[in-house]
Amino acid sequence: MKYSIKIYNPQMKELARLENAYDISYELTLNELWTCKFRLPKDDKKNQYCQPHYFVELFDSEKRLELFRILPSVMTREEVAYIEYDCEHVLATLLDDVMFQYHQIGNLGVYTDRVIRYVLDQQTTKYWQLVDCDFRKQFEYKWENENLLASLFSIPKPFIEGYRWEFDTTSRPWGISLKKVEEGYKADIQYKKNMQNIEKTIDPTNLVTRLYGLGYGEGDNQLTFKSINNGKPYLEKNVGKYGLKSSILADRRFESAETLKDYTQKVLNELSEPYVSYKLKAVDLSVENPNKNPRFMPGDNILVRDLEDDINIIVPIVKVSKNDVRGNPFDVDLEVANKAKNVTGSISDLQERARINDTYAQGATNLQQIVYADNADQGHPLKIKFYIPQEMARINKLILNYTIEAFRSYSVGLEYKETTTTSTAAGGGQYGSTSSGGGEIDTTHGPANVNGDNITIDIRDARGAWIGSGQIYHVYSHEHNISIPPHSHSFSVPDHSHPVTIPGHTHEEKHGIYEGERANSCYLRIDGKTTYNYKTEVNIIPYLSKDDGGKIQRGTWHEVEIVPDGLTRINASIFIQLFTNSRGGGDF
């Protein structure tokens, strides 16, 4: 095969085969972006096809290795002028798109494959699609103003199991898979067989036996996992072996205590042992017989044996590199370790990522007070309703404070309907006049004649008879003298009643401030549950309704009722200290 490199344009149309390319090298690092580089003589006409972001298909000993894209090129003039091209794996096309503003996906029922597809769906040009995923985790992920490659690489970071990304770039759209690291070993390397040199490094620099985990938030509101770890915000391992060596893992990407704990445990598992690495200069036997001797690839477990130094271990390959694919195809440098280097450097890497986290929306502590005052009695308590939104990340305090005052009115005078009122039947009794009175009375009468003729008198509804007049009497003028001595009369009034009708009428109001009675004490009814707490300053957090996780319910209304033992006036306020994130979806 006269060439090791093919050049393609962005539409994947083959443009050239570089027969004169030399000093072809590559570096394949586990779960990182692979790179390669090559040189072309300056006067090679095919330099015109090596344009930025054009694609490079690299072959190693006539076997396709991977697809890269061209980045910078540097022209150097020595004895022979040449242009050197640096390239990166085509996975870097995910750097061309971003997760603009805030994105959230995951949690119960949303598995890893769906999260990966969500990230890949943000591509403006559909370069990549998911082929396979060995994991079915249900972690929750949140990104803000992040490129797609960083978002994709962050998905398996909380996994405790080993993993590696695999690619299929033979046709568009390219395929990507997230695979578990296989058990056992794929090849063996033995001194004097296929290993020319071995260098062992033990690095305890990042040794940690107690690791604190911090997630989203700031200050007292920063997320920990102590609520699900027996009140401890840290995890420990190998303290008895190496002593107590504490460190802090702060990663504000995590907003779930469970996810933060899992990630902290994974990092501690790696950091609780010194980093032991082996750099091997080996012979790539796959060049001669690829069917019998597989190619070394990152993530493969290999058996390393050196009987002279008592080394017999199975370790994963974390880096594969070759310095001259065409000139020295059998020479391969391997780096194997008891853990991935990127995990060992997690804490320092996170410190470097702080500049990225500065663009994340973290939120802030807020103080809020709800004030309410009104008259109340046992049947009409004072009701205070307040709403807690979903965006309220943490609630620090909820304090109810109230005072009891005299009932207050602002006017007198009422309007009545027409009514009929009956007085009581009581009354009656015997009464007597005064005993004064009496005296003499004289009367004088003149003569009167009465004819004795018969007179017919018609008397109805009475019995009667005819009487003759008989003899005629003559009464002459005379006078009478009557003497009435002093006396009294008695009379009796029986029990009786009098009906009285009051017509409809109004009274003119008289405005003013009038105070009445005052209650002695109050009890509380919070979210429908009665609590006999008679203090006037109460922490109401224990009494509010909670979700399944024991947190105060978000996205709902809460109600506090203050019930007095009599007619009164109540002045109340609720003081809220909370931590809310800065994501609301609007700008009004």
410-440 confidence digits (pLDDT tens): 766 554 555 555 555 555 555 555 555 555 5
pLDDT band, very low/low/confident/very high, at 548 (cuts 50, 70, 90)? confident
* Sequence ranges of the chain with CATH classification 2.60.40: 5-92
What's the pLDDT at 495?
Answer: 77
Does 352 have pLDDT greater than 50? no
* pLDDT higher at 413 or 396: 396
The class that CATH gives domain 5-92 is mainly beta
Neighbours of 358 (CB within 10 A): 9
For 363-410+514-581, CATH number?
Answer: 2.60.120
Instruction: Calculate the alpha carbon distances from 76 to 82, 325, 393 in Å.
Output: 5, 21, 56
Q: What is the pLDDT of residues 94-116, one digit of tens each?
A: 999 999 988 888 877 889 999 99
Arithmetic mean of pLDDT, 244-272:
87
Q: Using CB atoms within 10 Å of the CB of residue 390, give its burial: 0 to 12 exposed, 13 to 18 middle, 19+ buried.
A: exposed
Predicted pLDDT of residue 105: 87
Contacts of 576 by beta carbon, 8 Å cutoff, 6+ apart = 367, 368, 369, 370, 386, 395, 397, 398
Please tell me what DSSP assigns to residue 552: B
> Which of the four pLDDT bands, split at 50, 70 and 90, describes residue 181?
confident
Residues of the chain with CATH 2.60.120: 363-410+514-581
Domain 96-181 has CATH 3.30.43: no
From-to residues of CATH 3.55.50 in the chain: 96-181
**Residue found under tokens 């802090």:** 248
Query: Would you say residue 350 has pLDDT above 50?
Result: no
pTM comes to 0.57
Estimate to the nearest angstrom the gap between the alpha carbon of 341 and the chain centroid: 35
- pLDDT tens, residue by residue, 297-349: 999 888 888 666 677 788 889 999 999 999 899 999 998 887 655 454 555 54
- Give residue 82's pLDDT: 92
